[in-house]
Amino acid sequence: MCIFAPNFRQGIFNQNKGMQINTFKTFLASLFLFVTIYGCASKDQETSLEEREFNGSEMILHHVGDSHSFHVAGEFSLPLPVILWTDNGLVAFMSSEFHHDTDGKVVVERRGQKFVNLHDKIYQLEDGATSVEFNAEHHPENAFRPVDLSITKNVFSMFLSMVLLMLFFMAAARSYKKSTDNIPSGIGRFLEPIIVFIRDEVAIPNIGSEKYHKYMPFLLTLFFFIWINNLIGLVPFFPFSSNLSGNITFTMTLAIFTFVIMMFSSKKYYWKHMLWMPGLPIPMRIFLAPIELIGMFVKPIALMIRLFANITAGHIIVLSLVSLIFILETIWIAPLSVLFSLFISIIEILVVAIQAYIFTLLSALYFGQVLEQEH
Amino acid sequence: MLQEATVNYGAFAAIGAGLSAIGGGIGIGRIGGSAMEAMARQPEMQGKMQGSAIVLIAFIEAIALFGVVVSLLGVLG
């Protein structure tokens, strides 16, 4: 990446064809190197974990799931706080007390209550129990889950994205304040076209030029929040790399926001068309009402599943391609799998932006539907 | 549990995911083909068509992804 930057600048300024091809080659080469390093890094991680047979699906599911500690590099991972609401009040301790145990073997005692970490979920042991007992289906028998308010990897990543967004937009706002002719500088120059795009291509055509103003803050927040979290998921090293927008609770929360705003801004016209469709025979109206009602709930569910499945699928594909090397146990498959994961990663950069755009666009479309009035 | 489930249902889940990919592929292919054709006929409408094609693809993709998620649940649950 460092080699690529000066060449890129030259290529832009010279407008020289040969130079541009060179730039493109350097760009591809540096990307290839970058992804190769990524592949090597995951290999180290895999072999150092435990000396056992490599299990691809287990590794992938562990990677796309949430976790109570954040793996940094090699043997080192960042412990994150575990915060639980139990019968005896709030309990908080660092996840390092489990010593990387996720099989429920290490028991942590706080306020006379015992906790174990079972597959990155915290369980509380029942009174008198000293260790977890499993039934035939490998479910814990003498433990239950307390209210878990922990700062997990995903929550950490959400805070990070909030801080990043805050920094970007504060910088943009400052640059507007400083400029005399209302033209931003720095990051504001990058953000303004996107904001204008959301306004002119998403909000105004779908909601209408009179009412769009009220919904702009939500739509912009939605777009930038989803986009930055998707991008954070694509970066493979420490403070990033969590699969936040591929977590169904995250997408569900956003979809519920959209649904609640839809419900609160709905007009009489919308409900009339929903429950008692005008201009139809009575039996047809009775037949259509439940279908329309189901459709109303399917909209946010589809929003939720679309984002979740797209992002998770992207992560799973890249990880599967990398783990092909370890499944087939040969180094000769490495160039192929690295090339393919490079290809998928580049496509994913496009896909994450499109997914953020689609979530915003569909939210705007639904707001427009419920706001419709008689013509 | 996971191990056992993968052995039992993994193949069926993979078939399910493959079938939903076929459905999504047909849908997206038809949209893409028609959008291309329309753009070739009226190049001045290109921007509008691209936008609506992406939205339509998102709708179809959602259906295909429902299938994939259900297959995933089949493996995990």
Rounded to the nearest 5°, which phi and psi values hold at A13? -75, -35
What number is the average pLDDT over the span A115-138?
78
Q: Which of the residues A60, A306, A357, A361 would you substitute to probe the B interface, choosing the one with the greatest number of B C-beta atoms within 10 Å?
A: A306
Long-range contacts (CB closer than 8 Å, 24 or more residues apart) made by B7-13: B9/B74, B9/B75, B10/B75, B12/B74, B13/B71, B13/B72, B13/B74, B13/B75
Dump pLDDT digits (tens) for B33-65: 999 999 999 988 888 888 888 888 888 887 888
Dump pLDDT digits (tens) for A39-88: 444 444 444 444 567 777 778 888 888 888 888 877 788 888 888 888 88
Cα–Cα distance measured from residue A69 to residue A272, given in angstroms and rounded to the nearest whole number: 51
Domain boundaries, chain B: 2-76
* Residue B69 near chain A (CB below 8 Å): yes
Cα–Cα distance measured from residue A39 to residue A125, given in angstroms and rounded to the nearest whole number: 40
Residue A31's pLDDT is 57
Kindly determine whether residue B66 and residue A305, on different chains, have CB atoms separated by under 8 Å. Answer: yes
Say how many CB pairs under 8 Å bridge A and B. Answer: 36
From chain A, which residues contact B within 8 Å (Cβ)?
Answer: 57-58, 61, 137-138, 201, 302, 305-306, 308-310, 313, 354, 357-358, 361-362
Cα–Cα distance measured from residue A339 to residue A29, given in angstroms and rounded to the nearest whole number: 11
Q: DSSP 3-state assignment of A127?
A: coil
Residue A27's pLDDT is 60
Reply yes or no on domain B2-76 having CATH 2.60.120.10: no
Cα–Cα distance measured from residue A103 to residue A88, given in angstroms and rounded to the nearest whole number: 25
**Contact between residue A64 and residue A312 where contact means Cβ atoms under 8 Å apart:** yes
* Residue B32 near chain A (CB below 8 Å): no
Helices (H) and strands (E) in chain A, counts: 11, 9
Interface predicted TM-score (ipTM): 0.70
What number is the average pLDDT over the span B61-71?
80
A81-86, strands of its sheet edge to edge: A89-94, A81-86, A147-148
Dump pLDDT digits (tens) for A257-305: 999 999 999 988 999 888 888 888 999 999 999 999 999 999 999 899 8
B55 contact residues in A (CB cutoff 8 A): 358, 361-362
**Contact between residue A80 and residue A92 where contact means Cβ atoms under 8 Å apart:** no
Kindly determine whether residue A362 and residue B58, on different chains, have CB atoms separated by under 8 Å. Answer: yes
